[in-house]
Structure 1
Amino acid sequence: MKTRIYQVSDLNQIDVQKDIKETLLSGKNIIFPTETVYGIGAYALSEKGIKGIYEVKGRPSDNPLIMHISHQTDVYKYTKNHQPYVKNLMDKFWPGPLTMVFEKQNHVPYMITGGLETVGIRMPSHDIALKVIDIAGVPICAPSANISGKPSSTLFDHVLEDFKDKVDIMIDGGKSKVGIESTVLDVTHEIPVILRPGVITKEMLEEIIPKVIGGSLTSEHEIPKAPGMKYRHYAPKGELMIIDGEKDKVVTFINDIINSSKGDHKIGVICTSDFKDLLKDVYIYSIGMPNQEEEIASNLFAALRDMDKNEIDIIYAIAFHEGKYKDALMNRLLKAANQNYMKL
């Protein structure tokens, strides 16, 4: 297979639109940008296309996929028994990085839901993602475009690295704006439950509805209701540890590790820019200034991939405690580190 690569400007061409539509409707896969991360997509009602996603990603079959739509009213074609607050959430947060988990209609295949009676749906706010869905004329299921368990793709180079000549079409949309996956909210109950934190926070949701419950991970014996609840995600090749503590203690700890390593291991640090000049003789990926949450979120997965690119053996990431994105950032880091966390 040779992947056909399109630029954003190509999507105005009739032959390119025809290629995208025919590829999806024939049960094949494409990679396209969204505001969160790049997605690997298939026609959401095509078992052939859905199977292709699981196979090319190496994704466990009980890890559900999110359906992407381009019009708010499309949600009623695939879901039922809606709670009264759902319309208010759609009006406020769609299009945008909020996935809602509904009771599914019978024609939605179990292959997309992990065998459950629920399906996650979102309407992205990325112009190209919406255009691709409209070109196809059908809903597209699309998990993050990365090999299962590895960091999500926020740059086109990331998807080239993982999937070149493994999918039919890739669309180059540059860097993802948000950089971490959508908030996932279970709306099948009177009080909704956050299944996966994201940049749409509990506080933001509770400005629209009175109460929202925070969620938790799923045990090895349960089927997850949403992506990211059960399996290890975002993991770099090197050993990752999250370091939490007062700034001077963190700096002293890492510098002591570096001084004692004697070059036996290649060490890297993921941190905000205020740590950069305090750490000596170590590879550093600065993900942004401490008060620039959007920049930090958009750079997190790129930092993890950069550690792999530079063959870092041991990675230290400094914990986040401030700002509205702290829960989403720590959720991704803890999964990437397999809960490997040290409090100083």
Structure 2
Amino acid sequence: MADRRIWRKSPWDALLLTASVVQFIVTLWLATTWGSSSLLGRLGGLAAVAVMTAYNIIVVSHLFTHSPWFTSARLNALVSVLNSMNIGQSVQAYQLTHVRNHHRFNNDSKDETGTTRDVSSTYRDGKDGEHASLLRYAVGGGFQSLADRGREVAYVRRLWRVGTDEKLLYSLASRRQTRRERELRQIQADRAAHVLVLVLFAAISWQWLLLCYLPAFLLALTMVNVQNYYRHFGADPQERTADSVSYYGRLYNLVTFNDGYHQEHHLSPTSHWSELPTVYEQHRARLDAQPRIISPVPAMLGFLHRKRPLLHHRADIRPHPPKTDGNRQEETAT
């Protein structure tokens, strides 16, 4: 009974919380041992920070944004702060842009205005109905994200509050006044925590911050973009049961909490990670009724899927769905 009062969906989410705490502790340890580490140890530390950060964004914080772990809003707020320090950006802002934008427009192609409604769409910087190049989306997007995080650090002049110039976040924040205020305050707290942890890292070892953490953070952002790119590359953006790519390898889905069930996740974004195999069975008839992409490799290695079908080409010959506000994704607050 105690678990049910604490955990909103499942006590297995304790594993995700453990990963969050372990990442923070290991990162601090790597910073404190930088001065005495060998070149090989430093390179290993850089790789470790990059992998932990990418894993947190792709798996841990991603799952948290869709289904906060605790019944207590205060505990969820603390988790948001903790993982904002782990991923170098506000988890609450991530929740707004990912859950309420990406999962509303589902990696859409360009419409009659010449752009996409999903701000993270792989088509946004593409030409002639094609995805953007991997280099532009992954590496260029990584540098852009790094620049965006730098601007957020500079918001110290307004104590990291969300400013009126941040139109996207303002448009995605809840329409209910009380919840809206809470979400915007959470972004402020997340950003403040991120900046304070950067100050802590610099105090421990400014050399580690510049030579390890920042390059590792950029590498992590690039890895996340590669993951998102191949979660959607070649899929049909106009077909709800074929607009994403799934990978059903057992070991991968075990260590990533069913991250490979991405088409299923798009069909039911509010479902807990433990429910995604059931979502697959529930929609199996629809999923099997038409062509869709099932990758033989995890999304991070999607470039190895040489013979991937390009279902988006068939979408090019169909009329683009009209641009409407539609129904907003069910809101989940951290």
Q: TM-score, normalised by structure 1?
A: 0.25
Higher percent of residues as helix:
2
Higher percent of residues as strand:
1
